[in-house]
Structure 1
Amino acid sequence: MKAKVMAVVLTAVVLVYLVLLAERAFQLIGTGQVAGILLGIGVLILPFVGLWIAWVNLRFGMRMERLTKRLEAEDGLPDISELPRRPSGRVDREAADEFFEQIRAEAARDPENWRGWYRLAYAYDVAGDRRRARETMRRALELAD
């Protein structure tokens, strides 16, 4: 729940920033000078790019949440409660690597099953590889659709 609240707060902050940026762009365009108009148009593009990035990430999060609930209803979420932890609370590196290898082998046995890809994304996240976790979750979302 903390992550969802944080996502909403950060999205609201970004939206306020984008509105202020758009306002500045219109001020630049309103100068009537060629340099101001061109700069204003360039600055006006940024809010649209920002909105698109925010939408893509929010949509990804919502789709991932639906998939999580679906797997949770099937009692298929990976359990890492027994893995040893560092003082920071993160899973011990060696334990995370072992967990990852186990999950990777399971996913390899049935590569067309979104559940295996979801668990593999989770294992990447536990191992600290967020980039691969997102890529793998995208594959799980493709297969689940």
Structure 2
Amino acid sequence: MRAKISYFVTAAVLVVYFVLVGSRGVLLIEQGTLLTVTFGVAVLILPLIGIWFLWKNTQFVRKANALAAELDAEGGLPVDELVRTAGGRIDRDSADAVFAKRRAETEDAPDDWRCWFRLAVAYHDARDTPRARKAMQRAIALHEGRQLGV
């Protein structure tokens, strides 16, 4: 729940920022000179890119949460098997064992979104965000019936 609240607060702050930046872009365009119109258009592009990025991330999170809910209903959510040190850091050997297990699972069933979801969770637990995101994108694509290059 804490993650959802922080996500929505961050999204709200970004939307306010986009509105402020966009209004400055409009003011620059209203000046009417070549230089200010050019800068105004450039300034307006930034909020558009930001809104697109925020939208895509929100869609990604929504779809990943829907997969988690479906997998939970099936009783297939992965159990955190990673061994941690007293300080909370993940033991590298246990992480390697879990990754080997999850990779073997996805190699045995490469078209099963559940396997890719569990691999994404393992990467996320190990704080490997880029791989976690790619694996989750693959799980989402497979769940939606799309093929996605790995």
TM bucket by the smaller chain?
A: over 0.9
Query: What's the TM-score once normalised by structure 1's chain length?
Result: 0.93
Q: Aligned partners of 1:58 and 1:7: how far apart in 2?
A: 9
Q: How far does residue 121 in structure 1 lie from its aligned partner after superposition? A: 0.9
Q: Secondary structure at the match of 2:111?
A: coil
Q: How far does residue 69 in structure 1 lie from its aligned partner after superposition? A: 0.4
Q: Secondary structure at the match of 1:30?
A: helix
Q: How far does residue 57 in structure 1 lie from its aligned partner after superposition? A: 0.2
Q: Aligned partners of 1:20 and 1:36: how far apart in 2?
A: 17
Q: How far does residue 126 in structure 1 lie from its aligned partner after superposition? A: 2.1
Q: Aligned partners of 2:19 and 2:87: how far apart in 1?
A: 38
What corresponds to 2:105 in structure 1? Answer: 106
What corresponds to 2:42 in structure 1? Answer: 42
What corresponds to 2:69 in structure 1? Answer: 69
Cα distance per residue 1:58-91 (max 9 Å; x no partner): 00000000000000111111111x5321344343
What corresponds to 2:147 in structure 1? Answer: none
Q: How far does residue 97 in structure 1 lie from its aligned partner after superposition? A: 1.5
Q: Aligned partners of 1:4 and 1:76: how far apart in 2?
A: 23
Cα distance per residue 1:24-60 (max 9 Å; x no partner): 1011112121101110011011111110000000000
1:56 aligns with 2:56: yes
Paired positions, count: 144
Q: How far does residue 3 in structure 1 lie from its aligned partner after superposition? A: 1.4
For residues 3-18 of structure 1, the aligned pairs below 5 Å read 3-18=3-18
1:128 aligns with 2:127: yes
Q: Aligned partners of 1:139 and 1:83: how far apart in 2?
A: 23
Q: Aligned partners of 1:8 and 1:95: how far apart in 2?
A: 34
> Could you tell me whether the CA contact under 8 Å between 1:100 and 1:127 is conserved in 2?
no
1:93 aligns with 2:85: no
Q: Which runs of 5+ in 1 are unaligned?
A: none
Q: Aligned partners of 2:6 and 2:87: how far apart in 1?
A: 21
Q: Aligned partners of 1:42 and 1:87: how far apart in 2?
A: 50
Q: Secondary structure at the match of 2:53?
A: helix
> Could you tell me whether the CA contact under 8 Å between 1:103 and 1:120 is conserved in 2?
yes
